[in-house]
Amino acid sequence: MLTRDEAQQLVITRLKARQDGRDHFVEEDRTVERPFGWLFFMVVPESSATAQAERISHRLIIVNKHVEQVIESSIDYTPQRFVEIYETLLAKSQASGEDWCLSGAFPLPWRAFGRRRVAEKAKELGLYEIR
């Protein structure tokens, strides 16, 4: 199981690997702890060739401390809504006995969730794993 510091380092490592080494950091005072892990507010400095000043953007990232799953969304949710969606999908998956987060991959074919699989629902809601 990850500690908060280990989870932060995991996020930064994965983001740097995907974002050409840009500097990312966590806004410590905005981090939300939940039973599954944390919601991190990542700050991403963005340089612009046409602008003299650096712009700052924020990304919401969930880390499941039990399985080292790092989740982001392509849809701009409020922090509360993003956590709610993740917790709902996690609960539905666990209720079906599949524990999708233990697979180490996201998404995979899990048991039916209503008429759709949990993975399909997650994809529709914009959730994806950062590897």
Residue 62, SS3 per DSSP: strand
Mean pLDDT of 106-115: 42
Residues 6+ away with beta carbon under 8 Å from 15: 22, 24, 42, 44, 59, 61, 130
Q: Please provide the size of the chain in residues.
A: 131
Span 21-76, pLDDT tens digits: 567 889 999 999 999 999 999 987 776 555 555 667 789 999 999 999 999 999 99
Task: Report the C-alpha gap between 108 and 3 in whole angstroms.
Answer: 26
Number of separate domains in the chain: 1
Note the pTM of the prediction, 2 decimals: 0.79
Domain of residue 71 covers: 4-129
Decide: 73 and 82 in contact? Cβ < 8 Å: yes
